[in-house]
Chain A
Amino acid sequence: MAKAKYNWPARGTASIIGKQQDRVDGLAKATGAAKYSYDINPANVLLARALGCPLAHCNIKGMDFTAAEKVPGVVKVAAMKKKGDEIRWQGDPLVVVVGTCEGAVAEGLKAIKLDLEPLPVFVTDEDLDAAEKAGRSGGGGGNTQLENEAPEGEDEAKFADKEIERLLKESAAVVDGYYGIDVITHMCLEPHGSTCEWNGKQLTAHLSTQNVSGTASQYAGPLEITADEVTIHCDYIGGGFGSKFQVDTWGVVAAQLAKDIGRPVKLMLDRDVELKTAGCRPSGYIKVRVGADKDGVVKVWDSHHWGTNGSTPGGIDQGVIPYVFNPANRRRKRTTIVTNASPTRAWRAPNHPQACAMSQTAYDDIAAKLGLDSYDVFLRNLPSVSNKKAELYAEEMKVAAKLMDWKAKWHAHGKGPAKGSVVSGLGMAIHTWGGGGQAGGCLVRIHPDGGVEVSMGSQDLGTGTRTVINMIAAETFGLPVEAVTVNIGSSKYPRASASGGSVTVAGVSEATRRGTQDSLRKLCELVGKKLDVDPATLVAQKGRIFVEGKADKGVSWKEACSLLGMTPQEVKGEFQRADENHLSSSQVGGVQMAEVEVDKDTGIIRMKKFVAVQDMGLIINPRGATSQIYGAVIMGIAAALFEQRIMDPTSGAFLNAEIADYKLPRLGDIGEIVVELYEPDSEYERGVVGLGEPPAISPCAAISNAVCNALGVRVPVLPMIPSRVLDALKKARTA
């Protein structure tokens, strides 16, 4: 069979792809040499900070900057809102102060006088009744699927009511459950912001962004220039997680101020405004009745869920409930709640972690109710998975169970041995995600002296984008990784997709492989001519280009490149999703298992062991992939046990908007984490699929299920902070 024009090395033949590779920019990051937007210090740069609104809901009656403008070192005070504006959440930026140093700006911010008219506040999104009373709830849709059709002439809704009641009545076990997960914030350690400098009409924005190729026009419009006059520069970004696709109002203001003042301006949000405004994830709460047969196979699902997207309506998409599992009879209803909180932003696998935590917990409660092993209940429900990956999940469950030693450790819910007040438990969950590469391009330049550059307007959120591009280019050209230079992080390079939806690695891999294979073919034409052989017989390996199978019939890489004469060879690599012959694919599964210890006296939960089995198609850099999964799991531990946005119900104030108060796990809190990259030949052959999001989905449900298995009592709402554990135990005792 003729080889496809673009292909990956046959399994086992690659010299770089699939091997453990150190991050190529690792030392720069580890020694402080890597420059983030916050670190860019052009000559004469000024510091700017934004003042967040102190009230959660108010009208602006007036703002007085007189005293602020007189503070020594303050250069300019600029309004971001105007008199008469309605402010809908605490921390919405009102004013920017520009000055020469932190102290001057801080004094300037304190000297601003605000005249605000308070308005009614609503922030208790878990309380559906209160939301309805406050007029903050709205319809969020719903739909029903039933095995049986309504008889002709019968009202469909009434028939559904009857069918669902019948099915529940016929079930061997019914769980009437309540589950939920609070709002969490992105908490990027580098806050949102930019350092902006002008050169005549040209703006360079050193922007902390996960969207290098897509943000120039966001500056251009408001600043009345065109996008070609804007350069977005971001070599390193200190966390994004879905919250940094936009320039944001404060980004445009920074550029405008730099222009007005005639000096570069650095405007990074402070931690308080960052947490209150620049990124959070929707909450989700659900009431559900689940009916199953005696084996634990779910026959009917009937749920109503709600939650908040902050000041704009929304919440968890109903399409992912119940999560992954899709029982034949299911009715779901959604209510959206508007609160006085900042609008949510995309957060690592939007909707999925919450949906998983709200529904695979109910599946686990079916196991508890029937006294069955949760593993068996998950296994028996696999035929209903919506992504047709039942066999894959079954295989991955086997692998995970072995790594966890599930069978040996399993006990029925609440029936395990206790060590004093400490009990342990196991829980699991499964997930799915797309992760297909998006359209994009790269420029592959081979210099006559042998140098190789690959340039792409992509970014590295921490995924290891540079390393992936570098490995693929080196593989194609048969060179060591060090021989290739990778340029990313500028909007002046060929367009790449934003890093969202786990599309980056698949996208840059496909573009790089195509570009470098085309580039090599072009170079081989020259080599073929020189050696008087068919260029199609040439291969590039170990720093040489030679006739396949005849290592001595060839030239060194340098010699080959010298055939270019004086001019570098440039080839554009490009692909569209619709192109044939994909080197990438989409859709992954994944199985995770948690083992916890819970102290019934203190309510404290400790992670003991966590197993993550993950497929992702063909793996470029196993070290980078493993890191991504560790990170996703640790983030999941955070949401399951530690982090929550705490709002004061009366004032709407975000009470814990500082790092010291916003609890996150530390190095000592993570227990043992075991990662298994699941890559059988069937996965390798699919090509590259993105990985960033999927492993962040299951931890909350898996950990909640483990806690329930330990205690025999469900702690319904995440995070499972000690007080909630104790409340759940108390409620169970008095029930």
Chain B
Amino acid sequence: MTGLERIRRAVLFERVDHTPVAPLLGAHAAALAGLGHDRACRDAGVQAEALLHAVEAYEPDAIFTLMDLSAEPEALGAGVASEEGQPPVVVRHLTREDLETERLEQRILTSRVPVFIETVSRLRAALGDSVCIGALISGPLTATANAVGIADLARMLRRDREGITGLLDRLTDACVALQKSHAEAGAHAVVILEPVATTAILGPADLEALLLPRLQAVTEAARRLGLISILHVCGDCRRSLPLLARAGAHALSLDSPVEMTSAREIVGTRSALMGNLDVLRLLPYGRPEEVRRAVRDLIAPMQRGFILSSGCELPEQTPRANVAEMIAAARR
């Protein structure tokens, strides 16, 4: 069974030979290959080389492009800066008016975004269908938040409902256009990143009224393109899970604060689950034995419909032995 087959079967709750393993290797992969994180976010050749090196080193079932939440805002016109070795960050946000000037579906495909699309294309050329190739993209809320700034987004949620609704619609269209480009480049999966949709920021009422229908539009579009859709939410989103389960994603990628068996009870078979080894302590600082135990404890009750992953992108300093152990433990 290939990695891609394993992932495809897992999201359909079908039997697999072993639990698929798909850590978000991005930043760690760049460091492992001795290539700068900033360079990998600016050069498709560098990013593909780093990710292929990680595929060779760890043989995961899926490989994902780097997590760079500044790429879409930069394409939309936000100012971005990065220091050597560090990922780019947004340093100048846009106004609502900036985002109302032209068609975002075209604008989002400019600037550094083609680096990620080209990376997908290179990965597909090198790996074919042996490994699931996933493109990480900002979801509509997160793209909006990183474009206008999270404080302005939060104020708009209360003071300018019409404005935020319009922006989210435009960013949803942009998001759909972006995943189409990734599908054309050869992606098997798209990971829709919504770290801003954590419960503290977006309460259940806002999630249901504002984000859920737009996430459904994105996952529906992904299905039409034949993509596996994975919705990733960071932090503690336990209270939002009943709604996230309705987003229509093949899989929900959850962070370590969420207990996976409770998540399974809430989500049922509406979405497979992916996650959620702790990336703040266990993976970067724990011992391989601890990683092995955590993997065993996590996998045992999950049965079908589960993909083992990190709760979020692996920190670059994560020891190679811990990543190797994570993958080996899932296959024992």
| Same assembly | no
